[in-house]
Structure 1
Amino acid sequence: MARPGTKTATFRAALPLSVPIMAGFVFLGITCGVYASSLGLPWWMPTLMSIAIFGGSAEFIVASMLPGAFDPLTTFAVVLVVQARHLFYGLSMLEPFKGMGRKKPYLIYAMCDESFSINYSARVPEGVDRGWFMTFVSLLNQSSWVVGCTLGGIFGAMIPLTVQGISFAMTALFVVIFLDQWLSEPCHASSITGLIATAAALLVFGTDNFLIPAMIAILIVVTALRAKLEPIYGTRDDAEGR
């Protein structure tokens, strides 16, 4: 049996929380790989993107632009807008990432939506190094994405496949994550804020432009309520040893 505090024990703590994400990443990665191959890209291109970009939706966008005229500035601008939500994730992780040393650059690079959800809210067992826990979560998630993209690139190059409907797996995954957080949080103010702000932004700005306004609204409201929310969440975290 692995001793508490060892990397093996930390890996075992991170693995169960990462498995649902990994399953979704493999299937969505296959979708991305097949999609890239259907555009005429070589089978290894999805693998390269999954390692160099690791951006999920950004990789679909880059794949669609690669067969066209060379236009790096437009690609950069589009990807920046699509991935701008990571700016808010980064602000939330300033404190958790303190003192991570050599792990910090990779944690920043690999902070996707799902890894952020786990690393920010997970209750790390006593005796488990939080830095290595977050690193294993990020590494497991990215590894599954790389595997999925590679399989999709190979399958797409060998046989014709349809990708319609597979992307809904990640929608279902986000619903499960939200419900799990709803059941575990001591106060639903932040979750309700997210729902209301997102719904309002969707009505005002439409499906193509709602994400950034919703994030800004959530940031403003949660910042305004910070003084009231921190004692509630702080009491819960202290009781759980976080």
Structure 2
Amino acid sequence: MNTNTLINKYNSKKHTLKKAFMAAFPHTIPIFAGFWFLGLTYGIYMNVSGFSFWYPMCMSVTIFAGSIEFITVNMLLGAFNPVQALAMTLMINARHLFYGISMLDKYKGTGWKKGYLIFGMCDESFSINYTADIPEDVDRGWFMLFVTLLNQFYWFFGSTLGGIFGSIIHFNTEGLDFVMTAMFVVIFLEQWLKDKKHTSALLGLGLSLICLCAFGSDNFIIPAMLAILGVLTLLRKPLEKEADSL
């Protein structure tokens, strides 16, 4: 293989990557604002909880699951309980099982990129990669990889910056530890407003309150999640019929 052939291959590859990046980047701009702000809050929250900026920085690279990363703060401060951590992660991120099934065809033929696409698939990356109208002259695998990579970088950048600023800038952080609760409340309200029927939401609230009374505030989360999963599984067909009738 002569030098000219190598140069042509390099230029062709560079052109492919540039075109895929330029096509993917505009789709991720709205994600930047949300991820940067929430990541910044998470980094400050970690610092307030007694962790250096290395923790949010490394966790945003290795975990990259916003809600789980917030919950991990309390897990790190509490007693070592790997079973609880595993159960909590599976329950909270169970929706990714359905995301993965939906993306099976789209991830075909992506080669080595498939591993990272699976690891980095968050709600926002899934939404973009599943619905985006990718131009025919843009490499599909590289487009989806850049979407996923950019979204993770936004979260990484925000959480690292928050961890650094949290240790440099001293201000009143009273109430900041409520950010995780506020985040889940917002997610719940968005789901409530989106659904016309609120059967699932009301079941979740009711079962959580029952488990709270039965097991106490320190131990109710896992029983509540198991109860919600079990009841919704049993009522799956009636709920699907209810949704189809709307």
Please, what TM-score do these two structures have when normalized by structure 1? 0.72
Which of 128, 131, 142 in structure 2 is aligned with 1:118?
A: 128
**Stretch of structure 1 that moved more, 121-130 or 110-119:** 121-130
Shift of 1:160: 3.7
Aligned counterpart, 1:202: 201
Q: 1:91 to 1:127 in 2, by over 3 A?
A: same
Tell me which structure has the larger Cα radius of gyration: 2
Aligned counterpart, 2:75: 65
Shift of 1:159: 2.5
Shift of 1:221: 4.2
Q: Deviations over 1:202-238 (max 9, x none)?
A: 0222186688649x959x849x98xxxxxxxxxxxxx
Aligned counterpart, 1:187: none
Which of 130, 134, 147 in structure 2 is aligned with 1:137?
A: 147
Shift of 1:200: 2.0
Shift of 1:27: 0.6
Aligned counterpart, 1:23: 33
Distance in 1 between residues matched to 2:137 and 2:87, nearest whole Å? 43
Q: Contact (CA 8 Å) 1:41, 1:67: kept in 2 or not?
A: no
Q: CA RMSD in A?
A: 3.5
Q: Deviations over 1:151-197 (max 9, x none)?
A: 111111223454467976xx69x97xx9xxxxxxxxxxxxx9x7246
Which of 45, 48, 53 in structure 1 is aligned with 2:63?
A: 53
After the TM superposition, list the runs of 4 or more consecutive aligned residues in structure 1 that deviate by more than 3 angstroms: 160-168, 207-214
Q: Contact (CA 8 Å) 1:55, 1:112: kept in 2 or not?
A: yes
Q: Does 1:105 align with 2:137?
A: no
Please, what TM-score do these two structures have when normalized by structure 2? 0.71
Aligned counterpart, 2:167: 157
Distance in 1 between residues matched to 2:83 and 2:69, nearest whole Å? 16
What does residue range 173-192 of structure 1 map to in structure 2 within 5 Å?
Answer: none
- Which 5+ residue runs of structure 1 have no aligned equivalent? 179-191, 226-242
Percent identity, please: 47
Distance in 2 between residues matched to 1:165 and 1:29, nearest whole Å? 11
Larger helix fraction of residues: 2
Distance in 2 between residues matched to 1:55 and 1:102, nearest whole Å? 22
Letter in 1 for 2:42: C
